[in-house]
A and B are shown apart, each in its own frame.
Chain A
Amino acid sequence: MKGEAIVILLVEDDEAHAEIVRRNFETSRIANRLMHVADGQAALDYLYRRNEFSDPANSPRPGVILLDLRLPKVDGLEVLRIIKADPNLSVIPAVVLTTSQAETDMIKAYSNHANSYLVKPVDSVKFTELMETFGYYWLAWNQKPN
């Protein structure tokens, strides 16, 4: 596995936020590939290789999923529920990245087996820090089964 870039699937409807995440991974030295989809339906299509993602070359299996909660078409929580109910997909760490600090959202996310819950900071430095730490933790330190 070493040397091979870890694929991160970013599910984010806000183009600007997707850009922020992208930039952060670019500046950090962790080798990775960022795949971005804009809604819940697209995320599920990607993971199940359906429709436009039916070609495996376009949809490599992600090592981590970064998931926003408020998503068009299919809600983030619904996406989470589906993938965590699927024995094949449930092993992929799913990290929630959202602007919501609502307690109910956190509880719902964790009860749907979210592996982590991150709140987008309203500050560029902090956002950068968060993404760096995320990178180290999930991409460098965290051990995953093959």
Chain B
Amino acid sequence: MKTIEASPSRAGYVLLLAFLLLAAGIVTTGYFYYRNHERHHRAEVERQLSAVADLKVGELVQWRKERLENGDVFFKNPSFAALVRRLFEKPADEDAQRQLLDWLGKYPTHYDYDQIRLMDAQGVSRMTVPAGRPPVSSVVSRRIPEVLRSGQVTLLDFYRNEHDQRINLAVMVPILDEQGGNQPLGVLVLRVDPGTYLYPFIKRWPTPSLTAETLLVRREGNETVFLNELRFQTNTAMNLRVPLDSTTMPAVQAALGRDGIMEGIDYRGVSVVAALRTVPDSPWALVTRMDTAEVYAPMREQLWLVVILIGALLLGTGACVGLVWRQQSIRFYRERAETDNRTRRFATVVKDSNDAITIQDFEGRITAWNRGAELMYGYSEAEALAVNIERLTTPDKVAEQEDFIRRLIAGEAITSFETQRVTKDGRVLDVWMTVTKLMDDAGNPIGLASTERDITARKQAEEKLKGIETLLQTAVDAMPVGLWILDAEGKIVTSSTAAQRIWTGVHYVGVDQLGEYKGWRIDSGKLIEPHEWAGARALEKGETSIEEEVEIECFDGTHKIILDSAVPLRKSDGSIGGAITINQDITERRRAEKDLRRFATVVKDSNDAITIQDFEGRITAWNRGAELMYGYSEAEALAVNIERLTSPGKVAEQKDFIRRLVAGEAVNSFETQRVTKDGRVLDVWMTVTKLMDDAGNPIGLASTERDITARKQAEVALHQSGLTLQEKNAELERFLYTASHDLKSPVVTVRTFLGYLEQDMAKADAVRIEKDLRFIRTAADKMARLLDELLQISRIGRVVCPPVRVTLRTLVDETLSTVAGRIAERGVKVIVGEQDVTLYGDQLRLAEIWQNLVENACKFMGDQKEPRIDLGVEVREAEMVFFVRDNGIGIDPHYHAKVFSLFEKLDSKAEGTGLGLAIVKRIVELYRGKLWVESPGQGQGACFYFTLPGAEDRSQET
């Protein structure tokens, strides 16, 4: 059916066209093949003709040259000329006669001369060898004077001897008497018979040929004269003459001096191919020619072969094409027969169909009407053929049907629609109409076939059912859970939108295909078999299942957790007529629960204290971190108010923070303090979150607290050590600076005064010398002392003696004995306080404090009449404060800070390097103490105070 042709004739045309094209191709190819072959052959023949012509021309030229050379043997030969004169003068001279006969007699035998004749200047023959031939031709006699005049050996061209009618050529040699002033004596004539050599040579053809021949011609006036005997005509030499205007003749063209190949008509009136040549230094022209017929004879054979081959090919092609055409027609007719059969079967079906099948033309005239139509519409076939289709159309559907048909004819792809028809008795039927466009064989639309089915009953039932279904579906879709209804066979017939939402789609399948719905039991993890679904069990076993937890794979590949419930639907007789399945998506709930559980673990195990309290401060949750941090167990904590945990100073702060948080301010973290069960105060970093109930009302506070006490302490320590480091650095800088400056000063002094010393020694100024030396000594001493004390300073804190327990009294006694000299010198009264304490540290260093301070006090006594120093210890704010008080010159409050600096001296005239107090300060600081001075002003004494917390002996205290 697939490749059926429209008709066998059309296929025939196609095949015929194919055959013609093939035939044309074959003929063209054959023609070109033959032409090509012919061209080659013709070229070959032309080459042959040219070669023969060139060969013969060369021979002729050679021949002519030889003849003239024969003449030259006699020409200007003095002995020959002498013999001739002797004979002419004395014709009876026998000796001369004999000698000449001997000479000339050789020639006719050796060469192709048939006669040699000696003639005198008057044209009289004097000697002839051999003798007894016809007399000399007048042609020769006439030429004698000319030859003598020219004095040249001359070849006399073909001529006919009028006496014997033979054709000859002649070499004419003038004989000149050199002794007699070149007097012409006569002419020697060597007569040539062309029949002996020349004609046979010209006639010869190197290959066998039926028509090939050579022509030798010359021009005489307006005529071409043939000089040789021809192959196909006798007695032509010197007789056949053709006028020069017969230009189609190759001989004429040759006589006119043309060279090359030409095609023309020869003396017989036959078409020939000819090669033309002129013979140099001669009046001759040569033609080699062959009949065109002979040239093309082999080609005719070829032509026949080609024609036969083409004919065979054409026959073969024709046969093939014919075979194909025959097969196609056979198939066509077979298929048409089948189609006819089918059509007949169809016709039966059509006729007996319960559907109304009608055919109408475009004017609406009914042309066919089957039994179905009769039954459906009540018109008999005869009645129907007489009416227009519009009779059957309900008035309101006329336009619709017309429009449908118009669009169908226009080519739109529409075939079926639902419409209405009127029966003969006036009932209106709903019909389902399928219309087909009918075409004639040429493809023009000629009418419409219409199949109409009465769907009135179905429509009514549908309407009714649709009402119920809509109601049901609305109810089902309104349910928040997914609902499925299975019919008695177990096929899913209804699903709610919620059900489709859960499964992301719906497959309306039977129980056996329930495997398309994939689910696993949550408790066992097992895949649910088709008949194991709750719905299937309800249907097949009457089981009622409530909320089985199932993990499903939806149709889009996602996984969900659902609760699957099912109940069987029982009919009035108690048998099962279906089942209802209900699905509830609990994925979100499960996930939230899981998150919550995970979260709870995190909270429980956190090292941070995490607590929940209500707005009255009642603790409602207390994690392990809180237990560890604050010491209250969970049970204890739940019984107390949060305020128990708050350090007293922070209650207001925390309340304020919570107030602002509840009010909605974006605050959640702050640093505060908490009190543990055992009373320790902790620094904590507190993050508070407002807790809401589901309605969004605040119900409490969740608080995360981190113990940052250690961190805070570390921070403070770090800050302090940073400060100390800064101070140390500054001091070091100061120290280096002042050391370099103060050390440089004595160097300047020493070197400068050494210069002066030299000058003064030169002048022998004893007073100045002594003065110079004193300055130098003083400077050197100062340097030595400076270096000493710098060393001392650098040792403080670096060189440490093991700490010992020592009383203040011991240290003071030691000091007083060391500086006893100075005290005595100034007559200072020293009073030591009653109170004694024990210190723990490097005894030597500690002693240095008192030594320096007492020394200083003595140094700055000024002109005090009753110098006095008080030593002791007193307690200020739970701190031991040591003091060394004097009643000396005192210190202006301006300079109180300055006195403790390195190298600082308030009085330039005072002895010392200014390092004493700096040393004291370093030692005191080593014991984490403070050193300061109090003095009301100049002349009112000074008191140095210091503390030594690092040297306090705790073991004695308790």
Q: Would B909 and A120 count as touching, CB distance under 8 A?
A: no
Stretch at the interface among A12-20, A55-63, A134-142: A12-20
Question: What's the Cα separation between A127 and B748 when bound, in Å?
Answer: 9
Please name the residue on chain B nearest to A24 by beta carbon: B752
Q: Mark A86-100, 1 if CB is under 8 A from B, else 0.
A: 000000000000111
Partner of B751, one of A23, A71, A124: A124
* Chain B residues closer than 8 Å to A23, beta-carbon distance: 756
* Chain B residues closer than 8 Å to A98, beta-carbon distance: 741
Question: What's the Cα separation between A28 and B907 when bound, in Å?
Answer: 31
Interface majority SS (helix, strand, loop, mixed), chain B: helix
Q: Flag whether B296 is at the interface (Cβ < 8 A).
A: no
Partner of A125, one of B740, B755, B903: B755
Q: Flag whether B753 is at the interface (Cβ < 8 A).
A: yes
Q: Mark A105-146, 1 if CB is under 8 A from B, else 0.
A: 000000000000000111111011000000000000000000
Q: Flag whether A73 is at the interface (Cβ < 8 A).
A: yes
Q: Mark A35-70, 1 if CB is under 8 A from B, else 0.
A: 000110000000000000000000000000000001
Please name the residue on chain A nearest to B778 by beta carbon: A16
Partner of A123, one of B741, B751, B778, B779: B751
Q: Would B748 and A17 count as touching, CB distance under 8 A?
A: yes
Q: Would B744 and A99 count as touching, CB distance under 8 A?
A: yes
Question: What's the Cα separation between A124 and B742 when bound, in Å?
Answer: 18
Q: Would A14 and B749 count as touching, CB distance under 8 A?
A: yes
Shortest A42–chain B CB gap in Å is 9
Partner of A124, one of B746, B753, B906: B753
Shortest B877–chain A CB gap in Å is 33
Q: Flag whether B754 is at the interface (Cβ < 8 A).
A: yes
Most interface-central of A14, A23, A127 (chain B CB within 10 A): A14
Q: Flag whether B738 is at the interface (Cβ < 8 A).
A: yes
Q: Flag whether A1 is at the interface (Cβ < 8 A).
A: no
* Chain A residues closer than 8 Å to B752, beta-carbon distance: 16, 20, 123-124, 127
Question: What's the Cα separation between A128 and B753 when bound, in Å?
Answer: 11
* Chain B residues closer than 8 Å to A128, beta-carbon distance: 755
Q: Flag whether B895 is at the interface (Cβ < 8 A).
A: yes
* Chain A residues closer than 8 Å to B904, beta-carbon distance: 72
- Known contacts A16-B753, A20-B749; is A73 also within 8 Å of B906 by CB? yes
* Chain B residues closer than 8 Å to A17, beta-carbon distance: 745, 748-749
Shortest A126–chain B CB gap in Å is 9
Please name the residue on chain B nearest to A27 by beta carbon: B759
Question: What's the Cα separation between A120 and B752 when bound, in Å?
Answer: 10
Q: Flag whether B615 is at the interface (Cβ < 8 A).
A: no
* Chain B residues closer than 8 Å to A122, beta-carbon distance: 744, 747-748, 751
Please name the residue on chain B nearest to A124 by beta carbon: B755
Q: Would B748 and A99 count as touching, CB distance under 8 A?
A: yes
Please name the residue on chain A nearest to B741 by beta carbon: A100
Please name the residue on chain B nearest to A39 by beta carbon: B908
Please name the residue on chain A nearest to B771 by beta carbon: A19
Q: Mark A2-18, 1 if CB is under 8 A from B, else 0.
A: 00000000000111110
Q: Would A72 and B906 count as touching, CB distance under 8 A?
A: yes
Q: Flag whether B201 is at the interface (Cβ < 8 A).
A: no
* Chain B residues closer than 8 Å to A100, beta-carbon distance: 737, 740-741, 744
Please name the residue on chain A nearest to B757 by beta carbon: A124
Q: Would B738 and A70 count as touching, CB distance under 8 A?
A: yes
Q: Would A124 and B754 count as touching, CB distance under 8 A?
A: yes
Interface majority SS (helix, strand, loop, mixed), chain A: loop
Shortest B907–chain A CB gap in Å is 6
Q: Flag whether B775 is at the interface (Cβ < 8 A).
A: yes
* Chain B residues closer than 8 Å to A121, beta-carbon distance: 748
Shortest B103–chain A CB gap in Å is 149
* Chain A residues closer than 8 Å to B737, beta-carbon distance: 100, 102
Question: What's the Cα separation between A20 and B907 when bound, in Å?
Answer: 21
- Known contacts A124-B753, A125-B755; is A19 also within 8 Å of B775 by CB? yes
* Chain B residues closer than 8 Å to A120, beta-carbon distance: 744, 748
Shortest A125–chain B CB gap in Å is 6
Q: Mark B888-918, 1 if CB is under 8 A from A, else 0.
A: 0000100100100001111111000000000
Question: What's the Cα separation between A39 and B892 when bound, in Å?
Answer: 15
Question: What's the Cα separation between A103 and B906 when bound, in Å?
Answer: 25
Please name the residue on chain A nearest to B909 by beta carbon: A38
Partner of B779, one of A16, A38, A73: A16
Q: Would A38 and B753 count as touching, CB distance under 8 A?
A: no
Q: Mark B721-751, 1 if CB is under 8 A from A, else 0.
A: 0000000000000000110111011111101
* Chain A residues closer than 8 Å to B742, beta-carbon distance: 70
* Chain A residues closer than 8 Å to B903, beta-carbon distance: 70
* Chain B residues closer than 8 Å to A72, beta-carbon distance: 904-908
* Chain B residues closer than 8 Å to A14, beta-carbon distance: 745, 749, 908
Q: Would A70 and B751 count as touching, CB distance under 8 A?
A: no
Shortest A129–chain B CB gap in Å is 11
Partner of B775, one of A13, A16, A73, A127: A16
Question: What's the Cα separation between A50 and B745 when bound, in Å?
Answer: 30
* Chain A residues closer than 8 Å to B905, beta-carbon distance: 72
Question: What's the Cα separation between A72 and B737 when bound, in Å?
Answer: 16
* Chain B residues closer than 8 Å to A16, beta-carbon distance: 746, 749, 752-753, 775, 778-779
Shortest A19–chain B CB gap in Å is 6
Please name the residue on chain A nearest to B892 by beta carbon: A73
Question: What's the Cα separation between A98 and B779 when bound, in Å?
Answer: 16
Question: What's the Cα separation between A20 and B756 when bound, in Å?
Answer: 9
* Chain B residues closer than 8 Å to A13, beta-carbon distance: 908
Please name the residue on chain B nearest to A128 by beta carbon: B755
Question: What's the Cα separation between A19 and B754 when bound, in Å?
Answer: 13
Question: What's the Cα separation between A38 and B906 when bound, in Å?
Answer: 11
Question: What's the Cα separation between A52 and B817 when bound, in Å?
Answer: 40
Partner of B895, one of A15, A73, A99, A124: A73
Please name the residue on chain A nearest to B759 by beta carbon: A124
Shortest A36–chain B CB gap in Å is 11
Question: What's the Cα separation between A35 and B908 when bound, in Å?
Answer: 17
* Chain A residues closer than 8 Å to B754, beta-carbon distance: 124
Question: What's the Cα separation between A128 and B756 when bound, in Å?
Answer: 10
* Chain B residues closer than 8 Å to A99, beta-carbon distance: 741, 744-745, 748
Shortest A41–chain B CB gap in Å is 9
* Chain B residues closer than 8 Å to A20, beta-carbon distance: 748-749, 752-753
Shortest A92–chain B CB gap in Å is 23
Q: Mark B400-440, 1 if CB is under 8 A from A, else 0.
A: 00000000000000000000000000000000000000000
Shortest A24–chain B CB gap in Å is 9
Shortest A140–chain B CB gap in Å is 24
* Chain A residues closer than 8 Å to B746, beta-carbon distance: 16
Question: What's the Cα separation between A39 and B898 when bound, in Å?
Answer: 14
* Chain B residues closer than 8 Å to A38, beta-carbon distance: 908-909
Question: What's the Cα separation between A127 and B892 when bound, in Å?
Answer: 36
B residues lining the A interface (CB < 8 Å): 737-738, 740-742, 744-749, 751-756, 775, 778-779, 892, 895, 898, 903-909
- Listed A/B pairs (10) with beta-carbon separation below 8 Å: A16-B778, A20-B748, A23-B756, A73-B907, A99-B741, A120-B748, A121-B748, A122-B747, A124-B752, A127-B755
**What are the 4 tightest A-B residue pairs by CB atom distance, in nearest-first order?**
A124-B755, A13-B908, A16-B749, A99-B744
